[in-house]
Amino acid sequence: MKINLNRLTILSTCLATLAMVLAPVAIAAPGAWSSEPVRIVVTFPPGGTSDLVARLLAQHLDADFGQKAVVDNRPGAAGTVAADYVSRQAPDGTTLILSNNAPFTISPTRFKSIPYKPLAGFSHIAYIGASAPGLFVKPATGIKTLKQYVDHVKNSPMTYGSSGVGSISHILGEAVDAAVGVESIHVPYKGSSPAIQDFRAGVLDSFYDMVVQNSDMIEDKEAVAIAIASPERNPELPDVPTFREQGYDVVIENWVGLSGPAGIKPDMVEKIHDTALAVFANPKVQARLVELGITHRAMSTAEYTSLVAELIDVWAPLIKAAGIAE
């Protein structure tokens, strides 16, 4: 199985360039847009990156702008459970989704049919940013480099945990296996937290997840991060090398954004967009995003919608090559 990551690598580079050359997105009049509490639906269980970002957003919407917000975790079926639920809600701004790769750019190719339209069925409102996953192994293995990992797995296949079949961590696992020429054993979970729990308990040999999010495990020597799937090293963890610099051009990033059901009135979309961007312009919020390994970029609603459309096409060949498309 051969996976061509060129389009994804090119897109990642283009996004980085876009972040530098785009003029700052104007923030008109941030503030509350509904007298009712807003539900931010998350496609994964509590504890993962999406959940943490959603809770960060909800906290500051209330504290900074008086918009009550609660997080509603609805995991299952690679994010399609949550996406389907949100697509069927009233377009009044009271139900939003912390959008990400799983239901919007992976599931459309992975499944023969999904109960919602990833573009026409949603108002894609505000892009938040992207983080990079990586490969973690047990310190007891003695593995510290990707070459050592490859040599080990060729002789003794290892299990790896992911946040679910078709998730970005699963796609990365398959991409790495294909790139380095090994076959490891995939163990899917409903979210990254249970996978990490089993890794800590000794059930798993390795796992794929967002690297910076697991910095405590690295510092406490509970796990060794042998590679990160970002174009360059993350400044928060400068000692973790990229796959690319170890000889394999594997670049896969996980994006997050804020979306809602189709049909939200344009003035409300603008209000939600401007308020979300104001939250993420807060230095304290930006610092927390950095801790989570997320690079924030301000985009207009139109740019964000176009990005989702483009990523569906970018991910399609990766998913098919990984052999997980129905």
pLDDT tens, 137-180?
999 999 999 999 999 999 999 999 998 887 889 999 998 998 99
Residues of the chain with CATH 3.40.190.150: 6-131+254-321
**Per-residue CA distances from 97 to 23, 38, 237, 279, 304 (Å):** 27, 10, 29, 16, 14
Supply the pTM of this predicted model.
0.75
* 134 pLDDT above the threshold of 70: yes
Token pair recorded at residue 254 = 């996980």
Domain 6-131+254-321: homologous superfamily in CATH: Bordetella uptake gene, domain 1 (3.40.190.150)
With CA atoms as reference, report the closest residue to 205 among 170, 134, 157. 157
Residues of the chain with CATH 3.40.190.10: 133-246
Report the percentage of the chain scoring pLDDT > 70: 91
Of 3.40.190.10, 2.130.10.10, 3.30.930.10, 1.10.10.10, the CATH number of 133-246 is 3.40.190.10
CA atoms of 215 and 235, how far apart (whole Å): 12
pLDDT confidence tier of residue 303, bands split at 50, 70 and 90: very high
Average pLDDT over residues 188-212: 93
| Residue carrying structure tokens 């294909």 | 178
CA atoms of 120 and 106, how far apart (whole Å): 16
